[in-house]
Amino acid sequence: MKKALIVAPSWIGDTIMAQPLFARLHAKYAGLQLDALAPRWVAPVLERMGEISEVIDSPFGHGQLSLKPRWKLARRLAAGNYDAVYVLPNSLKSALVPFLAGIPKRIGFTGESRYGLINVRHRLDKVALPLMVERFAQLAEAPGAALPKPIFHPKIRSTVTDQQKTLAELGLVRPLRIVAFCPGAEYGPAKRWPAAHFAALAKSLAAHGCTIWLFGSPKDHAVAEEISQLAPGLCRNLCGATSLAQAVDLLALAELVVCNDSGLMHVAAALDRPLVTLYGSSSPGFTPPLSDQADILSLKLDCSPCFKRECPLGHLDCLNKLSPEMVLQASLKRMTA
């Protein structure tokens, strides 16, 4: 195989967790050209992976069928003469364009009854493959074959040149000690540590000489602003002020990253930054931070993980009772490790 396409996931964290698959494909097929079809909001992390040659824009939003534009995209992909495509999402729509493009080998899990659309079909054994990174890596093997382990941790790059360029673009001066907070979580409030807890942690870390930078999307600006107001003069709210590529470069400068279970958690892990992650409604048993420098904090209450967007019991004890003091101790330990 000389040329292959990846149909990438629609989530940043999932895309990060697919990188070990890309590395395995290059190891199996010398000289492979590996391109990716991806939504524009995840493209920047693919562009930071050495395994990906070209990122092709997938302009479709969540749930859009858009048959005519999909046909046009399929014609473009057909001209690329790909030998194979690895369809990482399990949806029917994600397999449609590669089928219309006539790519000979269309590899993926059967998913939403995608018989015919996927012609190299893997059946998912959730017990044998509990982690998402394992499920992606399995696609490098023949259907039914055992998954070789260990799976190396995802890696994305941020060079000194990238970092200096980003600092200059944003008019930022690099502080001596940066601690990054990622207070958002796209999935919902049941994954978000309280703003007051983040603010209390900011005050404690500032007393240790740290400057706090807050990262996230425009949707996270309000909660980051609340943290900034509760810890006056200690936080720089960068939520919505950076591109994803710029956030990657700034996170690479951090001495520590404290975050919820989110896409930026996986970015920080792939940058090999010291990391303290906070779990409430979700479980590290499926999508943990893949890093030797990550600590996972979870109270493991009887009611969690519930995997709900909002606390069904109305108290959010899984995160409210995860105290700033507990997170501070983990943070200081990780910073001196």
d(CA 40, CA 281): 28
Greatest mean pLDDT range, 96-110, 173-187, 304-318: 96-110
| pLDDT of amino acid 282 | 83
**Parallel, antiparallel or unpaired: strands 3-7 and 120-122:** unpaired
Q: Are the C-beta atoms of 256 and 262 separated by less than 8 Å?
A: no
What is the pLDDT averaged over residues 174-201? 90
Q: What are φ and ψ of residue 303, in 5° steps?
A: -90, 0
Reported confidence tier of residue 62, pLDDT bands at 50, 70, 90: low
Reported confidence tier of residue 303, pLDDT bands at 50, 70, 90: confident
Residue 31 region by backbone torsions, left for phi larger than 0, else alpha for psi between -120 and 50, else beta:
left
What is the pLDDT averaged over residues 9-26? 97
**Nearest of 67, 122, 77, 121 to residue 103 by alpha carbon:** 77
What is the pLDDT averaged over residues 107-114? 88
What is the pLDDT averaged over residues 150-172? 97
Q: Which two tokens stand for residue 267?
A: 């970015």
Asked if pLDDT for residue 246 goes beyond 80, the answer is yes
Reported confidence tier of residue 64, pLDDT bands at 50, 70, 90: low
30-44, 150-164, 258-272, 301-315: segment of lowest average pLDDT: 301-315
**Residue written as token pair 């490790």:** 337
| pLDDT of amino acid 250 | 98
Asked if pLDDT for residue 121 goes beyond 70, the answer is yes
**Residue written as token pair 């983990």:** 330
| pLDDT of amino acid 63 | 62
Asked if pLDDT for residue 122 goes beyond 80, the answer is yes
| pLDDT of amino acid 188 | 67
